[in-house]
Amino acid sequence: MARSRIAVRGNLRSPSVSVAHLVLLLCVFRVADVYAESGYDAWLRYPRIDGAVRDRYASIPRRLMLAGDSPVLRTARDETVRGLSSLLGEPAVPITSRGSGSVIIMGLLDRIRMLVDDPGVPTQLRADGFWIGRVVTREGPALIVAGQNDRGVLYGAFALLRRIAAHADIAQLNEREEPAAPVRWINHWDNLDGTIERGYAGRSIFFDSGRVVDDLTRVRDYARLLASVGINGLTINNVNANAQVISDAFLPQLARVADTLRPWGIALSVSIDFSSPMRIGGLDTFDPLDARVISFWKGRVDAIYKAVPDLGGFVLKADSEGRLGPSAYGRTHADAANVIARALAPHNGAIFYRGFVYDHLMDWRNQKNDRARAAYDNFRKLDGQFDANVILQIKHGPIDFQVREPASPLFGALQKTNQAIELQITQEYLGQQRHVCFIVPMWKRVLDFDMQAKGTGTQVKSLVSGRVFGRRTGGFVGVSNVGRDTNWLGHDLAMSNLYGFGRLAWNPDLQSRQIADEWTKLTFSDTPQVVDTIAGMLLESWPTYENYTGPLGAGTLTDIIGVHYGPGIESSERNGWGQWHRSNGTGIGMDRTVATGTGFISQYSPAVAAVYESLTSTPDDLLLFFHHVPYTYKLRSGKTVIQHIYDSHYEGAQNAAGFVERWRRLEKFIDPERHASVLAKLEYQAGHAIVWRDAVNSWFQWISGVPDAMGRIGRSPGRVEAESMTLERFSTGAVIPWETASGAQAAICSAGGTCAARHRYQGTAGIYDIAVQYFVESDGAARYALSVGSRQVESWVADAQFGSNTPNGHTSTRRTAHRVTLAPGDEIRVEVSTMPPDGGAVDYIEIVPSDR
Ligand code: GCV
């Protein structure tokens, strides 16, 4: 059901409301109205609570008083006014003096303790922590939101609103929360020209044409979303950094962004280019031990802090994927990190040094080479050499955000170095926000994994927070890459990942189900059918995606050297990128054992290494990450590896199709805009899951020579290859890689104009769904039409952007016409009208009895 619009009621004119706050409230209502259900407000919609549920909140004071003053405290107050007014449908009012009656008092814990003498109020809290509770004072009852610092108060305010918006019982409010770790940062891979590396939701909200955008409204609203889940740092530019970002000309622009983030308790940070001393400093070197370079960094950092006194620090990618680094001068990563750390230290800034360092030109013929070893091999030996304000930022797995990886061994190997785990919210290898993939359960698997770094009880989440080895700082970094799409990430359901990242960074002990439920209630509604369906789908979405892409730890099996989206099984092999799965005629998987393989497993603690070294104790879902096995190797399920690959792909694609039907059933509970938008994405996903299924299965049946026990591969009922249809102006061409087209070929309308493919239906009369599998090229638009006899049953324009302009696994797309009446002898005709260079191409049609 669409969210009800908020009525501005008569009592808003109460004399206790100042003109300024009347304006604020009207703005709040207007903003809520304009963006209603576009996805813009994400989980901060604050829809009005009606009926019996509203009675639960009758005791919430409507008057709000700040104990203290600062930009962040004012944000906390204004957000609470906004949220309560909207949720409860009547204005909450800021007041400056207590008076009698019930009141919400918000402020620093120390201040609150001076005002309120109640044993329930805690005596201390950790940084950024808060306490929310009820007390009774001489003047009347009070609801207290107390923070250890200003940010803590803001987080307490959001926590209070979250509870109310999720319709939680707050009768016995007495909640103390403290974050698991001090670092809860977001990174962006935005380029100064406004493009985003691995961004799938439009252009940058920060940059355009080489500068910071003029209108920072989106940045402010993004900061609000981030603050609501406890994020306290934001790096706005790509780790493949442009040195200009710290040039003098850029500093005033950075200051504008910092000013926008500051009221939300978020520190600005930027990614830097290690060769900056040469690029923008006029030096002929960037050797970290050269005195001129040391002085360059000091001067630059001092200048930046003049413009942005509360800058959080820098992120640095060095000696990785072609970025320059200390190796140019035979220096170590510690030399590189420390020269910048020493410039930052007087300003309390930190440098996040990325552990993602590997050789992308590795010799693939050498069976002992292994990219997974790189992070540990590069950094383990430097433990103890980094300054106290260096934080090593380590990707969660040893490769690169694949659909399933073990925890990086580096987490357990550093005792004296601060560390932060890098998690990827933008779905680079996980369907790029065209597929639903809730990543929280995957992150949980790593965060909860016990590295046994100091006996048991050393889960990754405790290591990165610094607790295990008593380090002062550390935590969580998420690469989010939101863009200018109204709903931030392009897919409404993908926002569960941004939310989930923040919630886990605050409290990694939360369960995936809890996060999925909470997000669904806040984003859609708490109607049980809605929560069960959406949370259920979210929780199944990662295993589903894994099933139809790369199961058993083999890697995502996507096109490694292209856009990392559709299937491209062989792309990982025979090149230096090192994402090898080493499939051959007899077996599959990387042998990373100590006994016969690359020795990667020795990087884990002995207890963990013992589990992975043995074929029998390695969990099946990571089997091919650690071992090379024959296709006929039997899994715990009793199935062979090859049959598991076939079956999981059929199961995954079937489950993706099920998502469409499950979502359809929510139509009456969800606003039409978001229902339609998510439905279209799920329908697309179901079609693309079939592309994945068929590509992976055909390729493995070919390479292994082992047939599917159920005989499904290459025999889809009702499928008619385009190349076997009667073609007008189409030519038949090979698709590369071959496995991404059914029968390895497509009918291609290369000359432009209108091309047609005809098929005379000879089956039984009935009602059918007719799917057209075609390729969308990114260099223009093509118009498609599907007709039966003289009836046009479907027409559409293919103009999506998949980052590729040829027929392949990225661009293969399905469009289905439902409930089409067919009789023997009917002519089915697919017509495509193109404008060169965009050539339409058709893979096949599939005619199956309709189940709608
Ligand atoms: C920003 C992967 C991505 C790159 C990314 C890199 C990194 O290789 O494909 O786009 O670069 O990781 O994390 O530095």
The tokens of 476 are what?
A: 């969580």
How far is Cα 273 from Cα 325, in angstroms, rounded to an integer?
Answer: 9
How far is Cα 783 from Cα 833, in angstroms, rounded to an integer?
Answer: 5
Q: What is the pLDDT of residues 518-533, one digit of tens each?
A: 999 999 999 999 999 9
The CB of 400 under 6 Å from ligand 1? The reply is: yes
Beta bridge partners of 267: 233
Ligand 1 center to 191 CA (angstroms) = 13
The CB of 259 under 6 Å from ligand 1? The reply is: no
3-state secondary structure string across 490-509: CCHHHHHHHHHHHHHHHCCC
Residue 308's pLDDT is 98
Q: Considering only CA atoms, which of 789, 836, 782, 835 is closest in space to residue 813?
A: 782
**Which 3 state secondary structure label does DSSP give 377?**
helix
Q: Considering only CA atoms, which of 761, 746, 776 is closest in space to residue 820?
A: 761
Place of tokens 């000359």: 751
Task: Tell me the residue type at 599.
Answer: G
**400, 477, 558, 561: residue to mutate for ligand 1 pocket, most atoms within 8 A of CB:** 400
Residue 779's pLDDT is 73
Ligand 1 center to 545 CA (angstroms) = 21
The CB of 317 under 6 Å from ligand 1? The reply is: yes
Residue 781's pLDDT is 83
How far is Cα 645 from Cα 632, in angstroms, rounded to an integer?
Answer: 11
Q: Considering only CA atoms, which of 548, 566, 517 is closest in space to residue 773?
A: 566
The tokens of 814 are what?
A: 């399905």
Catalytic residue among 221, 400, 826, 838: 400
Residue 36's pLDDT is 56
> What length is written for the chain?
852
**Is 125 exposed, middle or buried (CB count within 10 Å of its CB: 0-12, 13-18, 19+)?**
buried
Ligand 1 center to 417 CA (angstroms) = 23
Ligand 1 center to 371 CA (angstroms) = 14
Q: Which residues contact 280 (CB under 8 A, 6 or more apart)?
A: 243, 244, 246, 247
How far is Cα 128 from Cα 524, in angstroms, rounded to an integer?
Answer: 29
The CB of 279 under 6 Å from ligand 1? The reply is: no
Give CA 362 to chain center in angstroms.
29
The tokens of 60 are what?
A: 């919430």
Residue nearest to atom 14 of ligand 1 (CA): 239
- pTM across the whole model: 0.95
Mean pLDDT value of segment 66-75? 97
DSSP label of 48: P
Q: What is the pLDDT of residues 406-433, one digit of tens each?
A: 999 999 999 999 999 999 999 999 999 9
How far is Cα 233 from Cα 606, in angstroms, rounded to an integer?
Answer: 36
Q: How many CA atoms lie within 13 A of 79 on its CB side?
A: 29
Residue 10 clears pLDDT 50, i.e. is over it: no
How far is Cα 329 from Cα 574, in angstroms, rounded to an integer?
Answer: 30
Task: Give the Cβ contact number of residue 807 at 10 Å.
Answer: 27
Ligand 1 center to 356 CA (angstroms) = 9
- Which atom of ligand 1 is nearest the CA belonging to 422? 13
Q: What is the pLDDT of residues 472-508, one digit of tens each?
A: 999 999 999 999 999 999 999 999 999 999 999 999 9
Residue 32 clears pLDDT 50, i.e. is over it: no
For residue 193, indicate whether it is catalytic: no
Place of tokens 């879902």: 621
The CB of 377 under 6 Å from ligand 1? The reply is: no
Whether the Cβ atoms of residue 42 and residue 499 lie closer than 8 Å to each other: yes
Catalytic residue among 428, 450, 518, 708: 428
The CB of 300 under 6 Å from ligand 1? The reply is: no
Residue 777's pLDDT is 81
3-state secondary structure string across 130-163: EEEEEEEECCEEEEEEEECCHHHHHHHHHHHHHH
**Is 350 exposed, middle or buried (CB count within 10 Å of its CB: 0-12, 13-18, 19+)?**
buried
Place of tokens 């992975």: 612
Terminus-to-terminus CA distance in the chain, angstroms?
Answer: 23
The CB of 197 under 6 Å from ligand 1? The reply is: yes
Q: Considering only CA atoms, which of 372, 364, 311 is closest in space to residue 340?
A: 311
Residue 28's pLDDT is 43
Residue nearest to atom 2 of ligand 1 (CA): 400
Q: Are strands 140-147 and 183-187 parallel, antiparallel or unpaired?
A: unpaired
Q: Considering only CA atoms, which of 539, 533, 494 is closest in space to residue 516?
A: 539
The CB of 198 under 6 Å from ligand 1? The reply is: yes
How far is Cα 634 from Cα 255, in angstroms, rounded to an integer?
Answer: 60
How far is Cα 580 from Cα 102, in angstroms, rounded to an integer?
Answer: 65
Residue 11's pLDDT is 28
Ligand 1 center to 189 CA (angstroms) = 9
The CB of 375 under 6 Å from ligand 1? The reply is: no
Q: What is the pLDDT of residues 637-662, one digit of tens each?
A: 999 999 999 999 999 999 999 999 99
Task: Give me the sign of the Cα torsion angle 277, 282, 287, 290.
Answer: negative
The tokens of 621 are what?
A: 């879902």
Q: How many CA atoms lie within 13 A of 841 on its CB side?
A: 31
The CB of 190 under 6 Å from ligand 1? The reply is: no
The tokens of 202 are what?
A: 């439009």
Per-residue b or e along 69-99, where b marks 16 or more CB atoms closer than 10 Å to that residue's CB: ebebbbbbbbbbbbbbbbbbbbbbbbbeebe
How far is Cα 231 from Cα 503, in angstroms, rounded to an integer?
Answer: 9
Residue 259's pLDDT is 98
Q: Considering only CA atoms, which of 231, 120, 226, 106 is closest in space to residue 160?
A: 106
Residue 9 clears pLDDT 50, i.e. is over it: no
Q: Considering only CA atoms, which of 717, 776, 719 is closest in space to residue 743?
A: 719
Q: Which residues contact 36 (CB under 8 A, 6 or more apart)?
A: 2, 3, 5, 671
Residue 72 clears pLDDT 90, i.e. is over it: yes
Q: How many CA atoms lie within 13 A of 164 on its CB side?
A: 30
Whether the Cβ atoms of residue 143 and residue 188 lie closer than 8 Å to each other: no
Ligand 1 center to 273 CA (angstroms) = 15
Residue nearest to atom 13 of ligand 1 (CA): 356
Residue 756 clears pLDDT 60, i.e. is over it: yes
How far is Cα 425 from Cα 437, in angstroms, rounded to an integer?
Answer: 10
- Which atom of ligand 1 is nearest the CA belonging to 479? 13
Give CA 716 to chain center in angstroms.
34
Catalytic residue among 193, 321, 661, 779: 321
The tokens of 724 are what?
A: 């076997």
Mean pLDDT, all residues of the chain: 94
DSSP label of 728: E
For residue 387, indicate whether it is catalytic: no
The CB of 189 under 6 Å from ligand 1? The reply is: yes
Q: What are the angstrom distances between the C-alpha of 289 and each of 246, 285, 759?
A: 21, 10, 72
Ligand 1 center to 618 CA (angstroms) = 29
DSSP label of 558: B
Ligand 1 center to 197 CA (angstroms) = 8
The contacts found for 794-801 with CB under 8 angstroms, 24 or more apart, are 794/770, 798/774, 798/840, 800/776
Ligand 1 center to 188 CA (angstroms) = 11
How far is Cα 627 from Cα 585, in angstroms, rounded to an integer?
Answer: 16
- Which atom of ligand 1 is nearest the CA belonging to 428? 9
Q: What is the pLDDT of residues 553-572, one digit of tens each?
A: 999 999 999 999 999 999 99
Confidence of residue 837 (pLDDT cuts 50, 70, 90): confident
DSSP3 helix / strand / coil % (the chain, rounded to 5): 35, 20, 45
The CB of 724 under 6 Å from ligand 1? The reply is: no
- Which atom of ligand 1 is nearest the CA belonging to 189? 1
For residue 321, indicate whether it is catalytic: yes
The CB of 356 under 6 Å from ligand 1? The reply is: yes
The CB of 323 under 6 Å from ligand 1? The reply is: no
